[in-house]
Amino acid sequence: MSSPILPKPPFGESLVSNLQIRDPLTVARAITRVERGGVAARELVREIFPLTGRADLIGVTGAPGTGKSTLVNAMAKELHARGKHVAILAVDPSSPFTGGAILGDRLRMQDLQGTGVFIRSMASRGQLGGLAAAVSDAALVLDAANFETILIETVGAGQGEVDIARYAHTTLVLEAPGLGDDIQAIKAGILEIADVLVVNKADRDGANATAAALEMNLNLNPDRTAWRPPVLKTVALTGKGVPELVDAIASHQSYIRQHDLRRAQETARFRNKLHELLKTELLQNLLDRYPDSRWDAWLHEITERKRDVYTIANEILRNKNNA
């Protein structure tokens, strides 16, 4: 007589132990949980938080067309070849109307399947800088899962792409020759957040000129710390320059540890996370405190120019305890 098929234990019963052995299904489900948010996500983060703080978070940003996904793919291969446990959070743009995303990075990284490199595409859902709201919690999941290096690729569109510096220990900024965006990148302040500057697609004409322009602009910035971002040239499709890039990342990681900067980075990251969470919670509390009719009345007054937004905001804040 065959043994009865027993139901699988509910997800979460052995979550921590399965995470720590990097079980792909457990990791994927845990990230899905934090993406959905709510009480379950908070309970999960609370449970795994003591296990985090060891992974190196590497941010990769730059204008569309610089080859971010291809370079992340090549970097992951190189890191894996060096014996590192690697995970990728690839943030794709989402529709402002449906919230859906193509999640094409996973398609571009097909050759990483079977290597043990974990890949997760996340929709930006309209976040500034192309960073999903849950990306920091997803990084915590991967950290708890004992991934040593977590590569976070941004959408790379708009001034807000500098937000990656709030998440990463090391930030890579990509440029490519022929895109005509060198000056725009400087205007956007993107160079100021770079720990490593990369001229990708360096087999194209103009690569040397692009690298020289970046070096020149570094020389014009007297406010940099003792760490000077190296300017490296890569051809991600062939892997040329990628080992040197991984070496530069390792050098920066050593630098921030030797100068006790990593703790300051962590403090800044969690300060930002705490502030964002408090703003969200406080705003939602205020929105829930008053009926829709009250909000409609305030908006009508503003639209009719009877009162300005500052006056209305002050009234709401003064009366928040008397609603």
Mean pLDDT of 117-128: 73
Would you say residue 108 has pLDDT above 80? no
Q: What is the identity of the amino acid at 265? A: Q
* CA atoms of 136 and 150, how far apart (whole Å): 11
Q: What is the pLDDT of residue 143?
A: 97
Q: What is the pLDDT of residue 98?
A: 40
Q: What band does 182 get if pLDDT is binned at 50, 70 and 90?
A: low
Would you say residue 10 has pLDDT above 50? no
Q: What is the pLDDT of residue 224?
A: 58
Would you say residue 223 has pLDDT above 70? no
Per-residue pLDDT reduced to its tens digit, 275-293: 988 998 999 999 999 999 9
Domain regions of the chain by residue span: 15-260, 272-318
Q: What is the pLDDT of residue 112?
A: 77
pTM for the model stands at 0.84
The alpha carbon dihedral of 242, 243, 244, 250 has a sign of: positive
Between residues 269 and 101, the one the model is more confident about: 269
Q: What is the pLDDT of residue 46?
A: 94
| DSSP string covering 130-196 | G--TTHHHHHHHHHHTT-SEEEEE----SGGGGGGGGT-SEEEEEE-TTS--HHHHHHTTGGGG-SE
CA 284, 166, 283: angle at the middle one, nearest 5?
Answer: 10
Q: What is the pLDDT of residue 91?
A: 84
Q: What is the pLDDT of residue 155?
A: 74
Between residues 111 and 215, the one the model is more confident about: 215
Q: What is the pLDDT of residue 234?
A: 97
Q: Which CATH number fits domain 15-260: 3.40.50.2300, 3.40.50.300, 2.30.42.10, 3.30.980.10?
A: 3.40.50.300
Q: What band does 106 get if pLDDT is binned at 50, 70 and 90?
A: low
Q: What band does 1 get if pLDDT is binned at 50, 70 and 90?
A: very low
Mean pLDDT of 91-95: 62
Q: Kindly state the DSSP code that residue 225 receives in the 8-state scheme.
A: -
Q: What is the identity of the amino acid at 225? A: T
Q: What is the pLDDT of residue 159?
A: 47
Q: What is the mean pLDDT of the chain?
A: 83
Q: What is the pLDDT of residue 125?
A: 54
Q: What band does 6 get if pLDDT is binned at 50, 70 and 90?
A: very low
Helices 135-144 and 38-48 meet at what angle, rounded to 10?
40
Per-residue pLDDT reduced to its tens digit, 19-52: 999 999 999 999 999 998 889 999 999 999 999 9
Q: What is the pLDDT of residue 87?
A: 96
Q: What is the pLDDT of residue 8?
A: 46
151-165, 169-183, 251-265: segment of lowest average pLDDT: 151-165
